[in-house]
Structure 1
Amino acid sequence: MTHGAPIPDTVTLHVPFRIAKRGGKKEMQMPEGATHSPRTDNTLVKALARAFRWKRMLESGEYATIAELGEREGIAPSYMTRVLRLTLLAPDIIEAILDGKQGPELTLRKVLEPFPLERSRQEAHFSIARR
């Protein structure tokens, strides 16, 4: 606007984005190349925290089996087993999740599916670029 020009009553701004479900919540995703701050997926972070907590409880001998721990936590052993596998994720992937830099394609549903154990193959499987 120039000095002395009247202020318009309405201003229209077009912002391209799409709405996607992520971790059970709706999230606005910007197009490729748009800058936005990373957003931590709290569902993924919570699953990671649970996985490492449960692993520690099993390794310490506090609980002898996954079934015993699952009963204590009120969680089905089959689900607990899938979440415990998150402790096998490569450190770079865990760091990306904690920093909110994992990308929209990496969801809890995706990491609970079977994934390769080799760290280099995990990065390709989850589409995580090496830093």
Structure 2
Amino acid sequence: MSTEQRERASSTFTVSVPLTIRTRGGRKLVLSPAGGAITAPARPRIDNTLVKALARAFRWRKILESGRFATVAEMAAAENMDRSYVSRVMRMTLLAPEIVESILEGRHSPDLLLPKLLEPRSEIWSEQRLS
């Protein structure tokens, strides 16, 4: 072994970590030496209820703006929905774009549920908080 090879060999080191790979429910899990699973960060979970409500809100707004119905009450009757519910859902069209995007991408807080979104809030985007 040459001097250069000995220097290189002495400056490198090997780290070994005992891991176990197990399959559970069709997924591969990497288990640490302590036996706990090493998991990847959770993927965003898209709340279909919130997405559906947003879609309805923007659809209803578009219908009203098109002039197909003159009032929310007429549209609610045609949709077989309660007028009050339609009005509350349509408030979602006033949410800040960042909030709408976070809902559509599943980045919103997990405790954000539809009843919270239907509450009256400021129409000024910078004042909107959903905590």
Structure ID, larger Rg: 2
Structure 1 residue 82 corresponds to structure 2 residue 88: yes
**Aligned equivalent of 2:130:** 126
Of 101, 109, 120 in structure 2, the residue corresponding to residue 114 of structure 1 is: 120
Structure 1 residue 38 corresponds to structure 2 residue 48: no
Higher relative contact order (CA 8 A, sep 6+): 1
Number of residue pairs the alignment of both structures matches: 99
Question: What's the offset of the Cα at 1:91?
Answer: 0.5
Aligned residue type for 1:59? E
Q: How does 1:17-56 map to 2 (within 5 A)?
A: 35-56=41-62
Q: Residues 73 and 14 from structure 1, CA distance in 2 versus in 1: closer, same or farther, beyond 3 angstroms?
A: farther
Task: Give me the identity figure in percent.
Answer: 53
Residues in 1 aligned to 2:101 and 2:59: alpha-carbon distance in whole angstroms? 17
**Cα offsets for 1:41-79 (capped at 9, x unmatched):** 000000000000000000000111100000000011111
Q: With structure 2 as the length reference, what TM-score do the two structures score? A: 0.69
Aligned residue type for 1:108? L
Secondary structure class of the residue paired with 2:104 = helix
Aligned residue type for 1:35? P
Q: How does 1:88-103 map to 2 (within 5 A)?
A: 88-103=94-109
Question: What's the offset of the Cα at 1:14?
Answer: 6.5
Q: With structure 1 as the length reference, what TM-score do the two structures score? A: 0.69
Structure 2: where are the runs of 5+ without partners?
A: 1-17, 19-34
